Amino acid sequence: MTALLLTEYIGIASAALSGYLYGVKKECDLLGIFLASFLTALGGGMVRDILVGRDLYSFTHYMPVSIVLFVIIISWIFKIQTKRESLDKSIAFVITDAIDVVSFSIVGAMVALDYGFNIFGVLIIALANGVGGGILRDILYNEIPWFMKTGFYGTVSIVVGFIYFLMHNMGFTSMFWIMVLFIFGVIFRMIAYKKNWRLPKFEERS
């Protein structure tokens, strides 16, 4: 298994669980839970593939949707759910979300580089792949996109994409270095969450 596939499968599994927790928290029926998991896990990859102009990977290979279905079934059997606090206070949701945004951002950067994108294209594709699924899910369920409400979420995606761009140009693309970047990205996101780091805002003058 290539580094790209391993990273993407980790992201899909984590995102599917994140979407499942989201659907349960919103008191959705089974179809609603499936859509929440499907969009969270595969929506960003679909946006990525449209932007780079390739066939949708999720619909030309069986593994992505199979992983989503497997996660939903296992979560349903073991009745995995969050506590009564809001999703942004649920550590299970935040951790799974951190894992998938970092995984997908790395994958997005990899695909963009494979298609010859420059640094700006790499960052945009990393961001689209990292947060695109969550945006589609939140729009469907009439919510303000998650990445706009929580500190450094989209920023983590861009930073991870930028670091991978540098790694690629320096030849550090082995599985070891990708896992180092993955661990760094998850830790970075969790610290930003715990410290409530946020980018500065522009306030309208009276």
Domains of the chain: which residue ranges? Answer: 1-195
Length of the chain: 206
Residue 30: which residues within 8 A CB-CB, separation 6 or more? none
Phi/psi zone of residue 102: left (φ > 0), alpha (ψ -120 to 50 degrees), beta?
Answer: alpha
Q: What is the dihedral of CA 18, 24, 26, 28, to 10 degrees?
A: 120
Structure-block tokens of residue 20: 């499942």
Residues 87-104 pLDDT 10s: 667 788 889 989 999 999
Residue 84 confidence class, pLDDT cut points 50, 70, 90: low
- Flag whether pLDDT at 85 surpasses 80: no
Residues 43-69 pLDDT 10s: 999 999 999 999 999 999 999 999 999
pLDDT given for residue 111 in this prediction: 97
State how far the Cα of 19 lies from the Cα of 133, in Å rounded to an integer.
9
Structure-block tokens of residue 8: 């993407």
Residues 97-136 pLDDT 10s: 899 999 999 999 999 999 999 999 999 999 999 999 999 9
**79, amino acid identity:** K
Q: Report pTM.
A: 0.91
At residue 122's C-alpha, the angle toward residues 194 and 132, to 5°, is 55
Structure-block tokens of residue 41: 């896990």
pLDDT given for residue 206 in this prediction: 61
- Flag whether pLDDT at 82 surpasses 60: yes
